[in-house]
Amino acid sequence: PTNLPTHLPSGSPTRNPTNLPTHLPSDSPTKRPSDKPVADVVCAEVWEPVCGEDSVSYSNVCEANKVDVKVAYEGECCSPGGKCSVEGSSCSVGTETCCGQTYDSLKCECSEERRWLCLIFDEACPSPCPQETTTTTTTSTAAASNDAKWFPDTVNDEPTCRYGSDYPLSYEGYGWLFDDDVDDSGEVIKTGEQKCCVEYNLPCQFQSKFNDDMWYPDTVNGDKTCEYGNEYPPSYALSNGMLFDSEIECCIEFNLSHCIPKEPK
């Protein structure tokens, strides 16, 4: 009896419930039959990223299944403003394919419904569009029912933020719409444009009338200096240590010796 094997052969069945598989096979469904997240599942540490229908990237299918989220497409989620690669796993420039859940497919000459079908299934947009769907009809309907907001968009093939009501209805669900922030007196303290540009790190070149005139670091003719005005990037208004009441404060903060007064000898 002492020579019995100390473990079962690999093909032997086991009644130990703790020996359940720790990860799902690659062809497993993306949604479990249970409506509740399966928190007790331990997923393998495998980097095979997928984008869930909640616009969150998961390291693999198992991690998405674990929280009961369907997989929208393979690869990491691309943020608004990103141009996604054919594989959908990274954001890059120069592709005409549509990437799931980005506004990139708005370049396609299709109706809103067809554009978002393209997003969901991560396919190239059909061009030209079928006659039963036209951009003009859909856009006018959306614009009539939408409230004007700031939202990420592409203008002349460049990502930016713009104001209007002709955005896809799905943008509201994804949190891609921005309003001005106002204080108790009704005064605007942060514009929707600023919030949009900062959120997506877009190179918005604008001079906002809502920016206070302040001293801020800048580069002029290749030299670092401090400038006065309201043409600073929107992120400066949301960061500590970028805006100053006086030139001397700005110069000292960034050690700009040419504008720091010298002490008398």
Query: How much of the chain, in percent, has pLDDT values that exceed 90?
Result: 5
Inform me whether the pLDDT recorded for 137 exceeds 50: no
CB 122 within 8 A of CB 100: yes
pLDDT band (50, 70, 90) for residue 33: very low
Contact, 99 vs 84, CB < 8 A? Answer: yes
Q: Residue 215 has what pLDDT?
A: 92
Question: Mean pLDDT highest for which of 9-13, 86-90, 180-184?
Answer: 180-184
Contact 242, 232 (CB under 8 A): yes
pLDDT tens digits for 38-56?
556 788 777 788 888 887 8
Q: What is the DSSP letter of 146?
A: S
**188 and 67 in contact (C-beta within 8 Å)?**
no
List 162's β-bridge partners, or say none: 151
| Amino acid present at 68 | D
Average pLDDT for the chain: 62
Distance in angstroms (rounded) separating the CA atoms of residues 222 and 55? 40
Q: Is the pLDDT of residue 35 over 60?
A: no
Asked if pLDDT for residue 17 goes beyond 70, the answer is: no
Question: Would you call the peptide bond into 168 cis, given omega within 30 degrees of 0 as the criterion?
Answer: no
Q: Is the pTM here over 0.75, yes or no? A: no
Range ranked top by mean pLDDT from 78-92, 113-127, 203-217? 203-217
CB 53 within 8 A of CB 75: no
Q: Domain coordinates of the chain in residue numbers? A: 103-199, 214-259
* Comparison of pLDDT for 226 and 261, the residue scoring more: 226
**Of 61 and 116, the one with more pLDDT:** 61
Q: What is the pairing mode between strands 71-74 and 50-52?
A: antiparallel
Distance CA 8, CA 220 (A): 74
Considering 22-31, 164-173, 213-222, 253-262, the range whose residues carry the highest mean pLDDT is 213-222
What digits encode the pLDDT tens for the residues 154-207?
A: 777 677 788 888 887 777 777 889 988 888 877 777 788 888 888 877 766 554
Which residue in 240, 238, 244 sits closest to 256, CA to CA? 244
What integer pLDDT is reported at residue 204 of this predicted model?
Answer: 67
- Please report which helix (H) or strand (E) contains residue 82, including its range: none
Highest mean pLDDT among 55-69, 75-89, 224-238: 55-69
Which range, of 8-22, 40-54, 147-161, 212-226, averages the lowest pLDDT? 8-22
Q: Which residue has the higher pLDDT, 100 or 82?
A: 82
What number of other Cβ atoms are within 10 A of residue 179's Cβ? 14
- Comparing 79-93, 127-141, 157-171, 175-189, the range with the smallest average pLDDT is 127-141
Q: Report yes or no: 63 and 52 within 8 Å, Cβ to Cβ.
A: no
User: What's the length of the chain?
Assistant: 265
CA distance 134 to 146: 18
Percent of the residues in the chain that have a pLDDT greater than 70, as a whole number: 51
